Amino acid sequence: MTRIAQITLSALAMASLSGCVGAQGDVAKQAAFTPTYGGIQTVLLDGDLVNFHVAMKGARDRADVDAYARCAAAQYALIRGFGFARHVRTSVAQTGGNWRGDAVYTISAALPRGSATIDAEVTVRDCGAQGIPTI
């Protein structure tokens, strides 16, 4: 085997092992994730525009707060007899270990225009699988 082939194989082996370490780290990070969901407050702003205030402790980052608000919006859409929601905006604040989200969604019976749309039924099912409470 040539020296170049040996170096290439060594590099490939190292890359493979680093992928395994990353995957194990991700599993450990997921196992340590034990959030406390503090509740959802829903405010109907105008017709199909709804504001969701969520609170939680133990979030890893703003994505966890976004997911909690998205789950609330999806369940709210279903409760109101709608199948879809579209994300308008989310503001997230953290004080110590307390996270708060202020999200606005529109709800609709038909798939709304835009890229930030969610299928409420699919999203609620996914939230349940992830252990994220809805309304």
In this prediction, residue 19 carries a pLDDT of: 47
Looking at the structure, tell me whether residues 2 and 60 fall in a common domain.
Answer: no
Looking at the structure, tell me whether residues 48 and 23 fall in a common domain.
Answer: no
Looking at the structure, tell me whether residues 59 and 43 fall in a common domain.
Answer: yes
Each residue's pLDDT tens digit, 12-41? 333 443 444 444 555 545 568 899 999 999
* 57 strand-pairing partners: 36, 98
**In sequence order, which residues have a C-beta less than 8 Å from that of residue 69 and are 6 or more positions away?**
52, 54, 90, 101, 103
Residue 86 belongs to a domain: yes
Looking at the structure, tell me whether residues 48 and 88 fall in a common domain.
Answer: yes
Looking at the structure, tell me whether residues 54 and 102 fall in a common domain.
Answer: yes
pTM of the model: 0.76
In this prediction, residue 115 carries a pLDDT of: 86
Residue 53 belongs to a domain: yes
Domain range for 26 is: 1-32
In this prediction, residue 27 carries a pLDDT of: 52
Looking at the structure, tell me whether residues 48 and 17 fall in a common domain.
Answer: no
Strands (E), 1-135: 36-46, 49-57, 84-95, 98-108, 117-119
Point out the residues of the chain with pLDDT beneath 70.
1-31
CATH of the domain at 67: 3.30.1360
Nearest 5°: CA angle at 90, between 88 and 96?
175
In this prediction, residue 8 carries a pLDDT of: 36
Other Cβ atoms less than 10 A from the Cβ of 5: the count is 9
Looking at the structure, tell me whether residues 9 and 67 fall in a common domain.
Answer: no
Looking at the structure, tell me whether residues 44 and 24 fall in a common domain.
Answer: no
Residue 7 belongs to a domain: yes
Other Cβ atoms less than 10 A from the Cβ of 127: the count is 19
In this prediction, residue 30 carries a pLDDT of: 55
* 54 strand-pairing partners: 40, 101
Looking at the structure, tell me whether residues 59 and 115 fall in a common domain.
Answer: yes
